Structure 1
């Protein structure tokens, strides 16, 4: 049986950022040593000896969070598409979600919450106020005050 334990110990150590892959790897190795030292200071040796492996993850960068956001958007857009509803997201909207969901210490978890709050909740509110019609086209954007707006366009009657 495998068990995975997570800790944010050493999360405040961070990376200073290197100019090359070699410098980044060297920084990563130093970070690993610091994190392992932090673990030794925090946990008893008996506990650490029970662990088969300790993996140190690098903090996510904003471009990486942007890539993850696209995957999260696709999940929601696919669910809408399966119901015959096309949803488009403007670049301004996507940037807002990434900005609000970016936290290098906590990884992608705040991003998921931002997607839920700014996209899924806003769509759900709109759908509850006015049920959707198959073939409907929806755009999620920001108004002049930077607030999320859901613009809905019903299909042309045939």
Structure 2
């Protein structure tokens, strides 16, 4: 009887598993949301709101329930320079395609003049270049594939000419753009469209300095909304799915960025059988000399290059008789103005 019971249990389990497979949603998109978010959270710090928006966007796309007559997603990322707005797009491309550069990037500051707006849509018939249908857009990167969305970045969108903004409005409205010659059409309906801008960043920072306190979320939203309405027409703003204001980098995020740069440098040093470590005092010096709230992580990277990468490169280029694994250990100098390095045995 036990044999029969085991058989019945087996078939019951098989039926349940078969039903579960049938009920499981099958998406045409092959990316894994959990993997993407895990990668991003390891590389972007202090931007929880942006991370939540990206995760929700990926869920909508994966479920394939977004409006099929416009781009899959239209986001506007606001905030100061060096806080991760563009880096998120690179990481998204890396996670989906395995290549950080696998997206179509349009630098809108190059389209500030009406004269250059044709670079986006192609030269009109009869003008030089009209037959070639030359445009800044990369069709393959925009349209992606059946299983992977295309990714488009409009960087510093506030600097674009009004004619360019009208072109974007047409893309946002129906997900298509016909090149001026009329022979080619670009399809954005399988595209993730992200715009970046520094709109309102200066005003928010100035107000914070004047009031001598940290950023107030309600006041920040008010400033952002006012600056957006000054810059763009209501019909443009209404077609954006998410307007996300990135946070200024705090002390905790800054320390995480330094650790991230150190890990990156260690990977490069492995080929030389070397590694690198910094004392807490050395890390604090980089923060003191390199962090500027106005310039974010970019100023910090410049300080890391000056105080760490250049001295380490100098040590690598010196002849060393040791073939053992060594660590370049950096500590603050006696005058507290630089970081001095010395070689130590690993695990010493």
Q: TM-score, normalised by structure 1?
A: 0.76
| Whole-Å separation in 2 of the counterparts to 1:5 and 1:103 | 24
More strand by share: 2
1:150 pairs with 2:337: no
1:136 pairs with 2:326: yes
CA RMSD of aligned residues (A): 2.6
1:121 pairs with 2:310: yes
Equivalenced residue count is 147
| Whole-Å separation in 1 of the counterparts to 2:316 and 2:219 | 51
Which residue number in structure 2 is paired with residue 6 of structure 1?
Answer: 196
Decide whether the 8 Å contact of 1:9 with 1:35 is kept in 2: yes
CA drift at 1:35: 1.0
CA drift at 1:47: 4.1
| Whole-Å separation in 1 of the counterparts to 2:196 and 2:290 | 21
Which residue number in structure 2 is paired with residue 62 of structure 1?
Answer: 251
Structure with the greater alpha carbon radius of gyration: 2
Q: 1:71 to 1:154 in 2, by over 3 A?
A: closer
Moved more, 75-84 or 85-94: 75-84
Unaligned runs of at least 5 residues, structure 1: 18-23
Which residue number in structure 2 is paired with residue 94 of structure 1?
Answer: 283
| Whole-Å separation in 2 of the counterparts to 1:74 and 1:53 | 33
CA drift at 1:117: 2.4
Alignment of 1:76-87 (within 5 A): 76-81=265-270, 83-87=272-276
Q: Secondary structure at the match of 1:5?
A: strand
Q: 1:128 to 1:82 in 2, by over 3 A?
A: closer
| Whole-Å separation in 2 of the counterparts to 1:116 and 1:47 | 41
CA drift at 1:80: 2.3
